[in-house]
Amino acid sequence: MELSRRTLLGGFAAVAGGAVVGCSSGMDAGTTTKKNTATELTMWCWPGGLGKSVLDDTIAHFPDPKIKYSEIGGDFKQKLVTTFNGGTSIPDITGIKGEDIASLLPQAERFVDLKTVGADSVLGEYLEWKVKQATTLDGKVVGLPIDIGPTALFYREDIFAAGGLPSDPAKVAEQLKTWDDFFAAGVELKKANPKAPIVGDATGLYDIVVGQGTDRYISKENKFIGDQDHIRKAWDTVVKAMTLKIDGKTPSGEPDWNAGLDQGTVPAHIGAAWVALDIKSAVKTSAGKWRLAPTPSGPANFGGSFLAITKNAADPQKAFEVIKYMLSPDNEAKAFADAQIFPSTPAAYDKAQLKAADKFFGGQVPIDVFGPAAKAIPVAYQSPYDDSVAAPFHDELKTVQTGAKTSDAAWSAAVSKAKAIAKRQGVQ
Amino acid sequence: MTVTASVSAPRVTRAPVKRRIWSYWRFYLALSPFYVLFAVFGLYPMLSTIVLAFQRWDGLSARRFTGLDNFAFLIKDPTFWQALENTVVLFLMSTVPTLVLALVLAVMLQSAVRFTNVYRIAYFIPNVTSLVAMAIFFSSIFSTNFGLVNAALRSLGIPQQDWLGQPWGIKIAISTMIVWQWVGYNTLIYLAGLQAIPKEQYEAAKVDGAGAVRTFFSITLPQLRPVVLFTVVMSTIGGLQTFTEPQVMVGNSGGTGQSGMTVVLFFYRAAFLDNDYGYAAAIALSIFALVLLFTAINWRIFRGRGEDR
């Protein structure tokens, strides 16, 4: 047979047909219920997701079946999703990051509803708003919270004092109650010290202000509400920081931010409890000069993760025993001492590990600020498409920050882009 | 083909051809690893991308066939057009200086007498350095308050610039990095091309009294044309797929005003951040079309007149 163009095309068509068949067999992957073997209990989490001593202790505590822990680096959710699609080697227990939980809730049938394995007895120990994040609208609980990220105001005591602002945490808490107070203090600080803008990066503040509310971009009824007053108010708050010229335009985590923490050009930062680690590792000379105060206008949550059991688990009951043990208040306190993993169980806040004073914060006890914040975080419904819809708002805020667009022009661009994305995802 | 022809004639010829093909099975077996690997890791993903471009898929749920929906959305998506514009601008901002610099360096290296190998290695090192590490390094070079570039500007009395916060600054930072990375690679290729040019032509030019500039434009450049075409095509393919540099330097959003958002970054965002795989596949196909288009344009320009074969 000669290799004519026709036979070649025929060959391609056959391969293409095979590809289509291959795809279609992947279509019903959602219903695979191939169980894992009962001889091993596999567990996945990302580096630093669980405290080391807690992990070692848990593995020792459950000898049968033996827990096989795998640390998965890189894009964790991506690897989990790929494994789900592959249909083999799916872990019995897996971590789920806080930013991914909303998009995985529609896949609740791939996970064990923890209520069916006796979660009711322990759910009360966890912060209610956090459990809600892992609960589907019809009441299935997909994950047990590992940690949370309550926010606070981190600030340089020496620079606040030199700039004529209150410097004692109690006084700061009293005077900087709202964003308006905070911005007013920023204007005052700028007069005394023009190199110290109180807002590190206004666009970074945006998510925190949105997180202080009880509504986000998409409502429970799957309606787009990103163009409404609550988002516009958050937007205007951030824009106000820019127009008052107290915005340092220094995104956190960047080289400028790291250097600025020590040099005093980033005198304050509003962020989650885990930011403490970033600040501690970035600074050399300003240790002991940092303090903590409540977030102006109330706390928000940033980050925090869950442990879930997949439908492939050989023994969901046993798997639940493991995660229940791992995430008990005692072990959560230990994980905090290990790796600053902030407990999701209020009972842990009274343990010795959390009550310890922190020299970095001049002997202040961080839990005195983060504890009350954790309990007061507002509950907001987060749609699976929340992140995608929020992206245009972030992008457009940056154009306001650099002066490329006016606030109103950027706002209408953000709303129309967000609406288009939401509509594409089937939001009304 | 007529019926009579298919009945009588092929019988004689077909059998030997078949036998001949089978008698070479060892050779086909020896060649097969490439084709098998290509089919599994090249052809199958390509075909499934094409299929995926006509579907909606969030990565986990069942796929849904939606026809041309993804493409319809793509055409109306302002971010896509912005990404396309950024990509082309970045491509021009990086490829033109890269190739000009590489050519100049290659000609200089060709005439250099001492330490030629040292220079060759030195110029090539950026090409084999980890891209992510270099992107982090470059982003600190261009950082506003404590960056090297701004420190140099300040020492010259020029006010510092917010490089990674301004649309044009982001483009300059990204293209600088691409130039830095690819100059050495192209220099080496030009150098190889230069060495293939017969010495006699230069000697003849010398005898005729041509200067260095005249020699360069009349002999070196025309003789290098096929090499230039190769580097232009390679740079086009690479440049239109710029991803790591903007992703590490300005993040997944593409920075201020999305001015660092390239088409591949847009694709990455659609697939792995928005979990909109069907849409991402449609974007991937648009990148493919774009590369084809640009390669064809390059081919036309650089192949030159009179050489149409």
Contact criterion met (CB below 8 Å) for A45 and A69 = yes
Contact criterion met (CB below 8 Å) for A220 and A379 = no
Question: What does the pLDDT read at residue B118?
Answer: 86
A7 close contact with B: CB closer than 8 A: no
Question: What does the pLDDT read at residue B304?
Answer: 59
B273 close contact with A: CB closer than 8 A: yes
Partner residue facing A402 (CB), from B14, B166, B258: B166
| Residues in chain A within 8 Å Cβ distance of B60 | 30, 81, 84-85, 104, 106-107, 110
- pLDDT higher than threshold 80 for residue A427: yes
A113-142 residue pLDDT tens = 999 998 899 999 999 999 999 999 899 999
| Least confident stretch, A67-76, A188-197, B33-42, B144-153 | B144-153
Maximum pairwise Cα distance, chain A: 91
State both tokens at A291.
């303090």
CB pairs under 8 A between A and B: 110
Contact between A110 and B48 using a beta-carbon 8 Å cutoff: no
- pLDDT higher than threshold 70 for residue A1: no
B211 close contact with A: CB closer than 8 A: no
Contact between A398 and B255 using a beta-carbon 8 Å cutoff: yes
| Residue to test with chain B: of A395, A400, A427, most B Cβ within 10 A | A395
Rounded Cα–Cα distance for residues A331 and A54 (Å) = 6
Residues of chain B numbered 233-272 and touching chain A (CB < 8 Å): 253-258, 269, 272
Partner residue facing B143 (CB), from A2, A15, A254: A254
A8 residue type, one letter: L
Rounded Cα–Cα distance for residues A160 and A157 (Å) = 5
Contact between B39 and A15 using a beta-carbon 8 Å cutoff: yes
Question: What does the pLDDT read at residue B37?
Answer: 94
Contact between A84 and B60 using a beta-carbon 8 Å cutoff: yes
C-beta neighbour count of B246 within 10 angstroms: 29
Residue of B nearest to A30 (CA): B61
| Residue to test with chain A: of B47, B79, B163, B276, most A Cβ within 10 A | B47
Q: Angle A52-61/A329-339 helices, nearest 10 degrees?
A: 140
Rounded Cα–Cα distance for residues A226 and A223 (Å) = 9
Mean pLDDT of A72-90: 89
| Least confident stretch, A77-86, A210-219, B4-13 | B4-13
Question: What does the pLDDT read at residue A224?
Answer: 95
Partner residue facing B256 (CB), from A26, A255, A398: A398
Angstroms from A229 CA to nearest CA on chain B: 24
Mean pLDDT of A347-355: 91
pLDDT band at A23 (very low <50, low <70, confident <90, very high): very low
pLDDT band at A60 (very low <50, low <70, confident <90, very high): very high
Question: What does the pLDDT read at residue A15?
Answer: 45
A207 close contact with B: CB closer than 8 A: no
- pLDDT higher than threshold 90 for residue A346: yes
Question: What does the pLDDT read at residue B6?
Answer: 45
- pLDDT higher than threshold 70 for residue A29: no
Angstroms from B16 CA to nearest CA on chain A: 10
Contact criterion met (CB below 8 Å) for B256 and A398 = yes
Angstroms from A195 CA to nearest CA on chain B: 11
**Pairwise pLDDT comparison (B13 vs A53), residue with the higher score:** A53
- pLDDT higher than threshold 70 for residue A32: no
Contact between B253 and A387 using a beta-carbon 8 Å cutoff: no
State both tokens at A207.
């998510």
State both tokens at B52.
């995926």
Place of tokens 């470059």: B138
Nearest-CA neighbor of B301 among B219, B223, B232, B227?
B232
Question: What does the pLDDT read at residue B309?
Answer: 43
CA distances from B157 to A148, B152, B153, B160, B163 (A): 48, 9, 6, 9, 17
Mean pLDDT of A153-173: 94
| Least confident stretch, A223-232, A367-376, A394-403 | A394-403
A345 residue type, one letter: T
Partner residue facing B275 (CB), from A23, A103, A250: A103
Prediction pTM value? 0.80
- pLDDT higher than threshold 60 for residue A14: no
Contact between A81 and B60 using a beta-carbon 8 Å cutoff: yes
Question: What does the pLDDT read at residue B166?
Answer: 82
Angstroms from B291 CA to nearest CA on chain A: 22
Contact between A255 and B279 using a beta-carbon 8 Å cutoff: no
Rounded Cα–Cα distance for residues A395 and B259 (Å) = 10
Concatenated DSSP letters of A275-339: HHHHHHHH-SS-TT-EEEEPPTT---B---EEEEEBTT-S-HHHHHHHHHHHTSHHHHHHHHHHH
Contact between A19 and B51 using a beta-carbon 8 Å cutoff: yes
Angstroms from B303 CA to nearest CA on chain A: 28
Residues of chain B numbered 42-71 and touching chain A (CB < 8 Å): 43-44, 47-48, 50-52, 58-63
Looking at chain B, list the stretches that DSSP marks H as alpha helix, in order from N- to C-terminal side.
Answer: 3-23, 25-38, 44-52, 69-76, 78-111, 116-128, 131-141, 148-155, 167-195, 199-207, 212-215, 221-239, 244-250, 263-268, 277-303
| Residues in chain A within 8 Å Cβ distance of B144 | 249-250, 256
| Residues in chain A within 8 Å Cβ distance of B52 | 23
B22 close contact with A: CB closer than 8 A: no
Residue of B nearest to A250 (CA): B144
Partner residue facing A256 (CB), from B63, B144, B258: B144
Mean pLDDT of A370-387: 91
A298-340 residue pLDDT tens = 999 998 899 999 999 989 999 999 999 999 999 999 999 888 8
| Least confident stretch, A137-141, A151-155, A345-349, B211-215 | B211-215
Angstroms from A85 CA to nearest CA on chain B: 7
Strands A93-97 and A40-45: parallel
Mean pLDDT of A264-269: 94
- pLDDT-flagged residues of chain B (< 50): 1-10, 12, 306, 308-309
Partner residue facing A256 (CB), from B143, B253, B274: B143
Indicate the average pLDDT of chain A: 88
Partner residue facing A265 (CB), from B77, B78, B145: B145
